[in-house]
Structures are given as C-alpha cells and as structure tokens.
Amino acid sequence: MRDRVALRGLRARGHHGVFDFERREGQDFVVDAVLHLDTAPAAASDDVGDTVHYGLLADRLAAIVAGEPVNLIETLADRLAAECLAEPLVERVEVTVHKPSAPIEHEFADVAVTVTRDRRDRSDPGESGARSRREPGDLGDPRDPGGPEDPVGREGPTGPGGRSERRVRT
C-alpha cells in the first residue's frame, strides 16, 4: 500500500510504567501513527467517509493512553495499533509510543517503541510456541522491579514522608 495517513505528536497523559510513582503520578506520552490505506476513493469522492477520520481516531488513541495502565510501552503500542486496525480501510499500521519522561538517570533525547501490525498478519500470539520469559530480578539490576538488588522494592521508590522520588540507587 503506497498511501499513508500520518498522525504525529499526539500527546496524552497516562499512568503506564513499572514503578509506583509512574502509576501514581502519570506522565505524558507521545504517539505517532502511520496508517497504510488506499486513499484514492477519498480523493475521488472528496468525502471523509471514504477515508480514516483522523480526528476521531486521535480521540480513541488518546483515550487508550489515558485508560487502563500497563507496565510496558510495548503493550501500549500494541493496543494502539489494534485500535488503528479496527478502522476497516487500514491495511497496515506503524505506531510509535514515545516516553519522554522515562525514569532514566542519564540525559536522553527520547525513549520510544515502534510496532508494525498488518491486518493480514493478525494471529493469536499463543501460536508462536513457547518462549522463555525473563522473570523480575533476572537482570540483577537495581532498576529491575522485584530484583534481588532492587533497593526500592516492587512498589518503587519513595522519599522522605512518602513523597515520590524519580531516582533509584545504582
């Protein structure tokens, strides 16, 4: 599919992440969605009914970001891609979720996950067979929630008086 409709820089507040302060305080997420579809019918008719109404799609995507929290932006990106593919004209979608306030102790420009989903490739995730799964703590990293060296415990960091802090010890 050569034609694309792009929605870039959709900003919405969500409560996603593995740390309790991310769930409690929330943060802004930025979404880019590139929809692959045939725009020729819309170009010929000049009717929004023959294409994706990107304003309504933006509302639905923002509602997903603001909705049920998930641990990983990979999961969030997958949910957003599924919503884009719910549009009957969309054959393929690329969704990028940016987490500009990710809890990283170093200066960084962006953290993002991009997923590509195709209507033809939709299948049951369980079909791919058994895959080894990393359990909490496998990395031995203090930032790994639940890890043996996790100085803040599974619930994440809290500071004096129960106030949330964004830094963890390394």
One of 99, 117, 145, 156 is an active-site residue; which one?
99
Picking from 65, 117, 112, the residue whose alpha carbon sits closest to that of residue 86 is 117
Whether 71 is a known active-site residue: answer no
Picking from 35, 28, 34, the residue whose alpha carbon sits closest to that of residue 13 is 28
| Residue 116 near residue 94, CB atoms below 8 Å | yes
- Give how far Cα 60 sits from Cα of 1, 23, 35, 63, Å: 24, 21, 15, 5
Length of the chain: 170
> What kind and span of H or E run contains 166?
none
| Residue 151 near residue 167, CB atoms below 8 Å | no
| Positions marked catalytic | 99
